[in-house]
Structure 1
Amino acid sequence: MSRSDRLFRLLDTLRRLPPPVTAARLAGETGVSERTIYRDIESLRAAGAIIDGEAGFGYTLTEDNAVPPQMFDRLELEAVMLGLGWLEWQGDPALAEAAKRAIAKVTASLPVRKADEARHVALLAYAFDKKPEVPEFMPILREAAWEERAVDITYTDREGSFTERRIWPLSVVYTDYEPWILAWCCLRRGFRRFLISRVASVSETRESFRPRRVPLLREMMSETYSG
């Protein structure tokens, strides 16, 4: 691991874990020795990061120079934290973990007063219904949509028929109940919405539909909400 990557990982760990974080915990999280942690803390301080604490007590990232300070008003902070909090409940494991990291990074980038507001927001997200099980292939679908690559799926339609289809994934939609995917179906030659719970498997392909995802998504949304 390069030194820059190591320092970035240390900063990310300081943002993410509740302070104060001991050198032993930081070493375990980043995979280096405690001696390296002490040297890297000093390097971050020299670069402008304000890190309170010392060996034997623990460290707190007070001001993060790696992210420019953000000036949100209180309602904007409520909106950001509410949205990321909802994702922690409703997203698949990878997205939920990403939401936690995002919250830590946003909070670390704020001035002290605003960071306190972010930690004590008045609006919180909570789901009473059991979180739907999200299949392991969700990261494949997200990546395929970003990279504009077709995927092959096995799917059970509303009549109970089992079909194999090639689709162009346009967007993954997270709802109150379960996620579904907006796509162009190559079999039906049209736009379709596929419930994730009816998808049995997803396989990657090398077929690209770049750069058509954004125009197709706009067209699909226009057809859906027109009239």
Structure 2
Amino acid sequence: MSRAQRLLDLIQVLRRHRRAVAGAVLAEELGISLRTLYRDIETLKAQGAHIDGEAGIGYVLRPGFMLPPLMFSEEEIEALVLGSRWVSDRADGILGKAARNVLAKIGAVLPDDLKYGIDASGLLIGPGEPIAVGDHELAAIRQAIRTERKLRIDYADEHGNATQRTVWPVALAFFDRVRVIVAWCELRDGYRHFRCDRIAALETSSERYPRRRAVLLKEWRILRGIPEQ
């Protein structure tokens, strides 16, 4: 294993631990000696990583440290390319443009050998069916999710029955043919799923919903038996 890869692995392990973790535990998980671990931690600190702790006490990585792009592995580059291409092709135009911008920014700072992996990637996205939802509607839904705002929607079910709902959007799921809002529905007093192509009209409320989105999403996952990502 290269030293760069070892440092990357150490950062990833530290990120998985929210509390201080003993050096011996880190060394065992990485398959290195304690001496090597201590040396690698000092190297990361010199690169700007905010690692608190010391030998015999444990270490914790404070938020905010960005890895140098040199430390992307080939598989990570391929994952970035594939994910960005999927979003560019299958998401709405606004999000697709953002994905292309991200890939361009990453490519601009990568070393030449890794930059080639972006330009020459053999991972492609197959053609998909057009989605019958406007860019601005999806952008409004994403904004409501980010800002934890209620949405008022005119919605028709699979039988064409129309209702007016006030919902608390917590997630937007992207399937190949449909986009689905995961939300708490005030009308039904429970979690419901709404296909975006069945929303005739929507309006973002200035009112925030009363519970934090992270709590609602965790509750929905538990109810659905979905493990946390």
The answer on 1:87 being equivalent to 2:101 is: no
TM-score, structure 1 normalization = 0.66
- 5 Å matches for 1:19-168? 68-127=68-127, 129-135=128-134, 136-168=136-168
2:178 is aligned with what amino acid?
E
CA distance change for structure 1 residues 148 and 80 in 2, over 3 Å: closer, same or farther?
Answer: same
| SS of 1:137 mapped into structure 2 | helix
The residue aligned with 2:224 is: 224
For the aligned residue pairs, the C-alpha RMSD in angstroms reads 1.9
Q: Percent identity?
A: 32
Equivalent residue number for residue 35 of structure 2: none
After superposition, the C-alpha distances for 1:29-52 in whole angstroms (9 at most, x for unaligned) are xxxxxxxxxxxxxxxxxxxxxxxx
Aligned-partner Cα distance in 2 for 1:92–1:172: 12
Residue 203 to residue 76, structure 1, CA distance change in 2 (3 Å): same
Q: Gapped runs of 5+ residues in structure 1?
A: 1-66
Q: CA deviation at 1:211?
A: 4.9
- After superposition, the Cα gap between the structure-2 partners of 1:111 and 1:138, relative to the gap in structure 1 and judged at 3 Å, is same
Paired residue for 2:215? 215
Residues 29-82 of structure 1 show CA distances to partners (whole Å, capped at 9, x for unaligned) of xxxxxxxxxxxxxxxxxxxxxxxxxxxxxxxxxxxxxx9534211111111100
Q: Distance in 1 between matches of 2:75 and 2:210?
A: 38
Q: What are structure 2's unaligned runs of at least 5 residues?
A: 1-66
Residue by residue over 1:84-138, the C-alpha shift from the partner in whole angstroms, topping out at 9 and shown as x without a partner, is 10111101010111111011011112111111112111212122x3221322311
Letter in 1 for 2:129: K
* 1:163 alignment partner, SS class: strand
Task: Give the Cα–Cα distance (whole angstroms) in 1 for the partners of residues 99 and 143 of structure 2.
Answer: 17
Is the CA contact (8 Å cut-off) linking 2:129 and 2:177 kept in structure 1? no
Q: Between 118-127 and 87-96, report the one with greater CA deviation.
A: 118-127
Aligned to 1:49: none
CA distance in 2, matches of 1:125, 1:117: 16
Secondary structure in structure 2 of the residue aligned to 1:84: helix
